[in-house]
Amino acid sequence: MTGEYPVPPESIAGREVITWSKVETTLEQGEVRYFISDESKLRELRNWQENVSVRRAAEAMAAQMDLHGLRKLYNGKSPGNETNATAVWDGTATATQIANDLAASIGKIVANSKLPDTKLNNFVCIIPAAAWTGVTQLGTINNTAIRLDDFVNQSYGVKFIPTRQNVFNSKTAALVLPMQDEDTAFLGRFRGTREFPGSESQRIPNRGTEYFIRQWWKCRVMPEPAGAVSDLVDATSTRIAEITGVLA
């Protein structure tokens, strides 16, 4: 949509056709299940076993959701937003080099997208977990000793998030995108209702109780430039950039 200025007195701006994108998706089910045995009650371990099982079940569900979302974000990166790391981020690259790599990547997003000024100081950089010590190193930048992650957060509003998921170019790339920006991507999620429960249990005679937990979700990258989105085609966005070669 565009605006008009100046509008002559006693007149109105002209009408225009609004460009819109059709976004459609179908949520898909994720499920985890665990079992609490009757014998755990005899050993007085039921509460411990149940607490551990619930925690591990939640972690397993979250891992599947993370993997799905990261794949969609990686597939949604813009080909024109790719930059190369000056040196690997495992401690080899200096703090200044990594900061410059991030600045170059953010510069691609700013130049190629329509990201508004209000969102220019709120980015996330998703990195392979092996690069975590490199981006949290203590370095000297502008003659000041400072942790690298603190410096890029103060300068560019970048927050590092490590992942162990093998998604970004076989764990050698990083992804940069605006944080919590609904115009970049969104996650549709359904956890169930009373009529359509997301968690149930069933008794197994003489053995124990089995629990089922399920949710439905789908991540969607919003196309920029505008275009249609469906389950058959992953959209790309100029608000997502890739830094290759952050690890060897």
The answer as to whether 17 is a domain residue is no
Query: What tens digit of pLDDT does each residue of 27-60 get?
Result: 999 999 999 999 888 888 888 889 999 999 999 9
Q: How confident is the model at residue 229 (pLDDT cuts 50, 70, 90)?
A: low
The answer as to whether 109 is a domain residue is yes
State the pairing for strand pair 185-190/208-221.
Answer: antiparallel
Q: What angle do CA 103, 108, 112 make, to 5 degrees?
A: 150
pLDDT of residue 230: 66
The answer as to whether 99 is a domain residue is yes
Q: How confident is the model at residue 21 (pLDDT cuts 50, 70, 90)?
A: low
Q: How confident is the model at residue 138 (pLDDT cuts 50, 70, 90)?
A: confident
Residues 186, 73: contact at Cβ < 8 Å?
Answer: no
The answer as to whether 211 is a domain residue is yes
pLDDT of residue 1: 65
Q: How confident is the model at residue 232 (pLDDT cuts 50, 70, 90)?
A: low
pLDDT of residue 212: 96
pLDDT of residue 25: 82
pLDDT of residue 105: 97
pLDDT of residue 15: 79
Residue from 100, 112, 72, 92 nearest 243 by CA: 100
The domain spanning residue 217 has which CATH number? Answer: 3.30.2320.10
Alpha helices in 93-192 (DSSP H): 95-112, 132-135, 148-156
The answer as to whether 120 is a domain residue is yes
Residues 224, 238: contact at Cβ < 8 Å?
Answer: yes
The answer as to whether 20 is a domain residue is no
pLDDT of residue 174: 96
pLDDT of residue 228: 61
Length of the chain: 248
Query: What tens digit of pLDDT does each residue of 164-212 get?
Result: 988 877 689 999 999 999 999 999 999 999 899 999 999 999 999 999 9
Query: What tens digit of pLDDT does each residue of 89-129 get?
Result: 998 998 889 999 999 999 999 999 999 999 999 999 999 99
Q: Determine the structural domain holding residue 68 and report its residue range.
A: 28-244
Instruction: Output 228 or 82, whichever has higher pLDDT.
Output: 82
Cis status of the peptide bond prior to 6, with omega within 30 of 0? yes
Residue 67 has, within 13 A of its CA and on its CB side, a CA count of 10
Q: How far is CA 116 from CA 111, 112, 122, 141, in A?
A: 11, 12, 11, 28
pLDDT of residue 24: 76
Q: How confident is the model at residue 4 (pLDDT cuts 50, 70, 90)?
A: confident
- Estimate the share of the chain in helix, then strand, then coil, as percent rounded to the nearest 5: 30, 30, 40
Structural domain total, the chain: 1
| Distance between CA atoms of residues 14 and 134, nearest Å | 54
Residues 162, 110: contact at Cβ < 8 Å?
Answer: no
The answer as to whether 193 is a domain residue is yes
Share of the chain above pLDDT 70, in %: 95
pLDDT of residue 192: 92
The answer as to whether 73 is a domain residue is yes
Q: How confident is the model at residue 236 (pLDDT cuts 50, 70, 90)?
A: very high
